[in-house]
Each structure stands twice: as C-alpha cells, then as structure tokens.
Amino acid sequence: MFNEVDMWKEFKEDIPYFLDTSLRSNSLLEHMNTTQDKSDYLWYTFSFQPNSTCSQPVLHVESLGHVVHAYINTIFIEAGHGSHDTKGFSMDIPITLIDGINNVSILSVMVGLPDSGAFLESRYAGLTKVTIQCSESYIYDFTNYTWGYQIGLEGEKLQVFKEQSLEEVEWSEIDDSTNKSLTWYKTTFDAPIGDEPIALNMSSMQKGEVWVNEQSIGRYWVSFLTSKGNPSQTLYHVPRSFLNPTGNLLVVLEELNGDPLQISLNTISLVNVNSPFSYHHLPQ
C-alpha cells in the first residue's frame, strides 16, 4: 500500500493565463491539427472583463470530444466528456466572476486518435462554441474571439516521469486542499518478492496516466463508468522486466481528484479454472 503521506511528493500544473500564451487565433482551433499528436492536451484561454449586469453568469461550452476541464481564474470548476457513440457534448456551469479581468482556461483532452474509417482528414475534435450567459437576454459569445493556446502540459514537456528530469520542477509534500486537479505524484517502491504477475490497483484515482521507471503502463480512466456503473478497468499490469529489486520510480498524472494514498501494488495469483476445486457444484 502507498497509504502514507510522506511516501509521496506532488507537483501541480500551472493553469495558463491568456497572456502566458504565444499561439493566438481569432477563432476556436481544431484540436488534432493544432497539437499535431505532440500531446493529448490543448489549452484554450481567453480574458475578458464583464459589465455590471453579469450577476449570475453561466459558462456554456460545446466540444466534439473527448474531454474538457474548465477553469475560471485558475480555479477548477467542472469537467465533461463525450462517449464512444456520442463524441459531442456540452456543459452549462454556474461560475463566479471578479469585477476586473477574468481569465478562462479550458483544457481539451483527447483519449486517442482515430485510426480507421473514411474521411479521416475531416474528423474534428476540440471546442466548437463558448459563451457566458449573464441573463436570458444578455450573452457574451466567445466563439469568434481572441484565443490563446498552449499545447501540452508543463510536466509533459519537462518529462518529469524520467529520473533525470525530476529536478526540473519543485516537488512538495501532499497538501490537504480539495483542488487536486492536474497534479503529478511520485514515489518509489521495491519489487515484490517472487515471480507472480504484478498490477497497480488504481481504483482510487479518476483519470490520467502512470509511469514505472520511465515506462508508461497506460492511461487510466477509472471514473468513466460502464452501463452497469462500474469502471472498465482498475488493475494495470506492471511487467517485472520494468522493475529493479529496489528503488523503482512510480509517477502518476491525475487530471481530476484521485487519491494516491489508496493506490496499491498487487501480486496476482493465477487459478486453474479447470480444477474441480475452483468452484462449488450446486445440488441438482
């Protein structure tokens, strides 16, 4: 179990402001053409100053997939996503604005790129419409507005999942704040004794990616539930060939609000399913 606070260190991603961006456009850019497969992540940002009549603002976001995380003045407000069958989705989120300049940062996230089918070049992902409604009759439409863009996350660019890059950022003790979104976690562990298969139990996390000794063992999305209300996967195989006897580096990128203190490393016992002792015979 990785259940002790002092086992972990964390690094929180900075939420970019519009002024932080160098890529600008007067419209909403398509996600895949903008990132060019360099990252799953694309930040859309803009700044504006509301007038005095915007007392109960609601942020409206429309996207053609796959996932959106919305921030107002660097504070996380809500996430949304599409599905396998319905890529597009929308979000209506009551928000709080300050009197001066407000910064809206929306992170668009891909879960994978289309790799088959006709007209791949015409597939579209990312934001398609953004508005802030102040009243029934007064709406700010930011769809054709001056947007700033940032491709990827800072931890990705610095490759903080690699041993030689760990010192590129300032790691700190895990805090008890409720805002855990876009946080990197790191710890070390020793390889379990024996030769049984090993898996990380990520059931306490929500969405992100895991690295063991610089090797990605995959993206996880535990909070995305099946039609029966269960995650499709919680155990993630860690090949023993990835491991050293001691001092193995585990790095986790959590997009939402997962709890790393409940992650566990499990050895898996294989059962002979053909054995008559592997199940109970019911009376006829």
Instruction: Summarize pLDDT for 104-133 with one digit per residue, the tens.
Output: 999 999 998 888 888 888 889 999 999 999
Torsion angles phi and psi, residue 157, rounded to 5: -60, -40
pLDDT higher than threshold 70 for residue 280 = no
**Across 75-82, average pLDDT:** 96
Report which of 168, 113, 143 is spatially closest to residue 29, judged by C-alpha positions.
143
Q: Tell me, what's the pLDDT at 215?
A: 98
By the 8 A CB rule, do 232 and 218 touch? no
Helix count (H) and strand count (E) of the chain? 2, 18
Does 282 reside within a domain? Answer: no
Beta strands in the chain (DSSP E): 9-12, 23-25, 41-48, 58-63, 67-72, 75-81, 89-94, 102-109, 127-133, 139-141, 147-151, 183-189, 198-201, 207-212, 215-221, 235-237, 248-254, 264-267
Confidence of residue 282 (pLDDT cuts 50, 70, 90): very low
Measuring CA to CA, how many Å separate 159 from each of 7, 214, 236?
21, 9, 21
Task: Assess whether pLDDT exceeds 70 at residue 275.
Answer: no
Chain segment 149-208, per-residue pLDDT in tens: 999 999 999 999 999 999 999 999 998 776 789 999 999 999 999 999 999 999 999 999
How many beta carbons lie within 10 A of that of residue 165, not counting itself?
14
Domain assignment present for 276: no
Q: What is the pLDDT of residues 4-53, one digit of tens each?
A: 999 999 999 999 999 999 999 999 999 999 999 899 999 999 999 998 78
User: 119 with 159, same domain?
Assistant: no
Assess whether 143 and 183 both reside in one domain. no
pLDDT above 80 for 135? yes
Whose tokens are 């690699």? That residue is 162
Question: Distance between CA 95 and CA 260 in Å, rounded?
Answer: 29
Q: Which residue has the higher pLDDT, 251 or 53?
A: 251
State the residue range of the domain holding 149. Answer: 18-153
Answer whether residue 281 shows pLDDT above 60: no
Give me the number of domains the chain comprises.
2
Mean pLDDT for all residues in the chain? 92
The confidence score (pLDDT) of residue 278 equals 45
Q: Does residue 183 share a domain with residue 118? A: no
CATH number of the structural domain spanning residue 26: 2.60.120.260
pTM, entire model: 0.92
On whether both 162 and 122 belong to a single domain, the answer is no
At 276 the pLDDT is 57
Q: What is the pLDDT of residue 154?
A: 97
Q: Is residue 127 part of a domain?
A: yes
Kindly state the percentage of the chain with pLDDT values over 90: 81
Q: Is residue 279 part of a domain?
A: no
The span from the CA of 59 to the CA of 77, in Å, is 10
